[in-house]
Each structure stands twice: as structure tokens, then as C-alpha cells.
Amino acid sequence: MNQEFYKIFSLIFHRQDREFVRYLRNGFINDIGFLDSDAVAGFSDFMKKNRGKSDEEFYSMLAVEYTRLFITGLPSLACPPYESVYREDAVMGNSTLEVMKSYSKAGLKVMENFHDLPDHVAVELEFLYYLMNKENTEAHEAFIKEHVSRWVPEFCSGVEKNDRTGFYGHAAAVLRKFIEEPKNQEVLE
């Protein structure tokens, strides 16, 4: 379950594109069947509530909210998606460098055409997906303990409080619950 969780939630917190928004409408609910019934119901309710929107309206709603929450909210950014902001009150701080060391130790490097910071929540979740896929239990557990558990719950609380669509807030609540659950800090499968 953890591996699929990380993959899907990494996609949720990446900058939205039209392909992902189409996936939300055509396949997402089937793919999250491993989540508990309350989590699935929350996403299903959101989809039903927005069923009448055209694909472009649905995309626009999510893209605008993503931008407001995570990129350029005014007067200040509501929910910066970067570890260093929560741990050091700075962008690209020491925790970012530690994250990069973790990636390097696992044999990964940030691609040159990647246009965000390596400690973005989506990138860290994608890294956990990678570690699970490689069955690297030790690195997975260490990364959760040393990084994810230290800032993601606070990030999620901010998203829950500030989201105006219901989608990101619900996703953040599910992510926070998952991260705070002690059994999920270990590899289950």
C-alpha cells in the first residue's frame, strides 16, 4: 500500500497539468481503493460536487488553487511546499542540502531541467516511492524520520486550513494522517 500511496500523493502535490486533471476524472477513484473508506469518500464527494464543470473549468479551478496555495499567494504564500521553509524558515537551507545528499546516496540526482527545489513535498514523496520500489527499507525509514515526519504534518495542516476547493485540503488531511501513523513509518509491504 505505501508504494502506491507515495506515487499518487506525489502526483497530487506536483504542479497540476491537464493530463493529471483528466486522470482525476477518469481513473483516480479506482486507483485509490487501497485508502480507507473515509479518504475515498472525501475524494469521491469532491469529484461529484464538481462533475458539472467542463474539463477546462475543472483544470482551471485546481490550477488556480494550486498556484494560490503553493506558488504565488498574495499577500504571502499560504503553504510553501518546501521542507527548508518549515525547518529553517528559509528557502534552500541546510535541510535541502541534506535531502540532496539522501538522493545522491540512493544513486539519484536532480535533473537539470527540473524547475523547482529538491525539498518540494512532491519530490520527497516521489523519492519515498522510489525507495519502496527498490526495497530500500533502511533509507526509506531514515528519510521519513529525518525529513518527512519533521515538516509534512505542519505543511498539511496549513493546506487543510487554507484550501478553498476541498481537494488539496482533503489530500493533505489524508497525507498527514498517513505520515503521523506510526505503522506507516516502516515498510509494510
Asked if residues 83 and 90 have their Cβ atoms less than 8 Å apart, the reply is no
pLDDT tens-digit profile of 128-169? 999 999 998 899 999 999 999 999 999 999 999 999 999 999
What pLDDT does 11 receive? 93
Which residue ranges form the domains of the chain, and what is each CATH number?
2-179 (1.10.3480.10)
Is residue 186 predicted with pLDDT exceeding 70?
A: no
Query: What is the distance between the alpha carbons of residues 117 and 121, in angstroms, rounded to a whole number?
Result: 10
Cell numbers describing residue 117? 527545489
Cα–Cα nearest to 20, from 122, 108, 116? 122
* Secondary structure class of 116 (helix, strand, coil): coil
Q: What is the pLDDT of residue 162?
A: 96
Q: Grade residue 187 by pLDDT with cuts at 50, 70 and 90.
A: very low
Above 50 in pLDDT, residue 189? Answer: no
Mean residue pLDDT of the chain comes to 90
Helical spans, DSSP H, in the chain: 2-13, 18-25, 28-31, 37-49, 55-70, 83-88, 94-105, 121-133, 137-143, 149-162, 167-180
Residue 182: band (very low, low, confident or very high) from pLDDT cuts 50, 70, 90: low
According to the model, what pLDDT value does residue 75 have? 67
Residue with cell 506507516: 184
Please report the pLDDT score of residue 2 as a whole number.
75
**pLDDT tens for each residue of 17-68:** 899 999 999 999 999 999 999 999 999 999 999 999 999 999 999 999 999 9
How many Å apart are CA 188 and CA 183, to the nearest integer?
A: 8
How does residue 184 score in pLDDT terms, banded at 50, 70 and 90? low
Give CA–CA dist 78/160, Å, rounded: 11
Q: Which residue has the cell 546516496?
A: 105
Which is nearest to 171 in space by CA: 181, 183, 162, 159?
159
What are the φ and ψ backbone dihedral angles of 158, each rounded to 5 degrees? -65, -40
Confidence of residue 73 (pLDDT cuts 50, 70, 90): low
Number of Cβ within 10 Å of residue 27's Cβ equals 10
The DSSP symbol for 185 reads: G
pLDDT tens, residue by residue, 108-133:
877 777 778 899 999 999 999 999 99
Distance of alpha carbon 17 from alpha carbon 122, whole angstroms: 14
Record the pTM: 0.90
